[in-house]
Amino acid sequence: MTAVGDATDAAPAGYRRASFWLDDLAARGLDDLRPRAALTRDARFDVCLIGGGLTALWTAYALNAADPDLRIAVLEREIAGFGASGRNGGWCSALFPRSASSLERSHGRDAAVAMRRAMVDTVAEVGRVVDVEGIDCDFAQGGTVLFARDEVQRGAARAEVLEADRFGVDALEYWDADAVADRFGAVGLDGRVPAAVIDPATARVHPAKLVRGLARVLEARGVAIFERTEVVDFAAGRVRFRALDGSDAEGTLAARHVIVATEGYGPGLPRVRRRILPIYSLMIATEPLPDAVWDEIGIEHGQTFSDFRHLLVYGQRTADNRVAFGGRGAHYHFGSAVDPRFERSDAVFTHLRRALRDLFPAVGDAAITHRWGGPLGISRDWHATASYNPRTGVGFAGGYVGDGLSTTNLAGRTLADLVLGRRSDLTELPWANHRSPLWEPEPIRWVLANLGITGMAIADAEERATRRPSLLARMIGPFTGH
């Protein structure tokens, strides 16, 4: 893994390049992205969080709220929000990697309903916290519009609404083409006006404002955030680290509770290597679009959007009227490698640009001002978890696939209960202490992961050609949380 800057070059320009969102903070003078001090000597804390993304910060937030006397340290290799938390699509949604039906099959109906309810409530909880803590992150809950762009996608859309009705938690609405035509300038794959599913349980956020704002709130409460501090290994009660601030310092942090919160970057740690598979998701942002164009597109502030293709795309209207639009499709790299070079792929950026214009022709030739990407984390059974072993004091949360923005908040609250030994509704949720199987050794892992990604792209092409639900997608479905 190559760091953004070497020991003598912790260049904020490198952090600005990591995403539109981080660049935007710096460009507006809201945050200079300069690293906080590194940890340079042995230390003792009650809790050590490895990684400085939303998992670590929400966990610190919940622990600090439960017991302000706890001494909490966050060790982050770059800066807080450098990872997926500062790069994502800004969907604060109730999505969970495993569908309700899939959860029902493995954990029973009550557990599936409880998980759905917890996810919907979590969106509101994030909104509540950013409000009370004064974190201005453009949070606006306008829901998601999922366009169903041909007959096959309309079938998938109707099935999704029926599934939601069966569990009775998610309040999805099906809009036919007439209703969509009144509001949106979206075009179907068949050239007609699409139908849509509206999911009210999503808020649009500016992810970097959220994660960087949360870090500041925690620091003001006495949580110690050490940046440019790389964890090289950990075990029960201790974490080995080295400072990347040029001091060459190394040391051990002793802590009763050690929580691993490194998500897609986790395979860099020997003890996490086969637990999480890093997959890159890439994004583009347009220049700000004029009001007339937005009137034609129809997406309002607070709304996010997608469609029912298999190889996911996702978009939002930013507070400054850009489209931030992303998608999967980048290949998995042998050995679970994570490297800044993988954050850019001309082929994927071109595909995203085309996909955006196909969906909303009104975007036209708007300039693409930013291109970036980042790794998200996938567990072998597509099942996120928040888990903690009271015997060793070691905990882990992750495997959110692309649904971590809100789920990290639920993870933080759940981990806090587990660490403090409190039994609660959260610790009874089916993902608490869930243990996923490990990923296969290489080269099988490489073959499986890339087959899955290519298979999704082929399934989309198959559906467009045959106008029937893809058999391939049905075969891959059970392995991808459906």
In the Cβ-directed half-sphere of 144, how many Cα atoms lie within 13 Å? 26
From candidates 83, 97, 315, 395, binder to ligand FAD by CB under 6 A:
83
* Separation of CA 203 from chain center: 14
Residues of this chain, 380-419, that bind ligand FAD according to CB under 6 A: 398, 400, 402-406, 408
Output the smallest distance, CB 304 to ligand FAD, in A. Answer: 7
Kindly calculate the radius of gyration of the chain based on its CA atoms and give it in whole angstroms.
21
Output the smallest distance, CB 374 to ligand FAD, in A. Answer: 3
Distance between CA atoms of 72 and 221, rounded to whole angstroms? Answer: 10
State yes or no: residue 213 binds ligand FAD (CB under 6 A): no
Q: Which residue has the tokens 């969080």?
A: 49
Q: Which stretch binds ligand FAD (CB under 6 A): 27-35, 80-88, 286-294, 445-453?
A: 80-88
Cβ closer to ligand FAD: 188 or 402?
402
Cα dist from 66 to 50, 345, 397, 414, 433, whole Å: 20, 44, 19, 12, 20
> Which pair of tokens denotes residue 456?
């999704």
Give the list of residues 6+ apart from residue 367 with CB closer than 8 angstroms, or none: 286, 287
State yes or no: residue 25 binds ligand FAD (CB under 6 A): no
If one counts every other C-beta atom within 10 angstroms of the C-beta of residue 123, the result is 24
State yes or no: residue 35 binds ligand FAD (CB under 6 A): no
State yes or no: residue 52 binds ligand FAD (CB under 6 A): yes
Distance between CA atoms of 338 and 244, rounded to whole angstroms? Answer: 18
Q: Which stretch binds ligand FAD (CB under 6 A): 87-95, 167-175, 191-199, 387-395?
A: 87-95
Distance between CA atoms of 201 and 434, rounded to whole angstroms? Answer: 25
Cβ closer to ligand FAD: 50 or 355?
50
Q: Which stretch binds ligand FAD (CB under 6 A): 84-92, 102-110, 152-160, 441-449?
A: 84-92
Q: Which residue has the tokens 């089916």?
A: 430
State yes or no: residue 263 binds ligand FAD (CB under 6 A): yes
Output the smallest distance, CB 355 to ligand FAD, in A. Answer: 15
Q: Which stretch binds ligand FAD (CB under 6 A): 154-162, 255-263, 459-467, 470-478?
A: 255-263
From candidates 315, 373, 393, 455, binder to ligand FAD by CB under 6 A:
373
Three-state DSSP state, 148: strand
Among 238, 261, 255, residue whose Cα is nearest residue 396: 261
Query: Where do contacts with ligand FAD occur on this chain (CB under 6 A)?
Result: 50-56, 75-78, 82-85, 87-91, 93, 230-231, 261-265, 268-269, 281, 283, 314, 326, 373-376, 398, 400, 402-406, 408
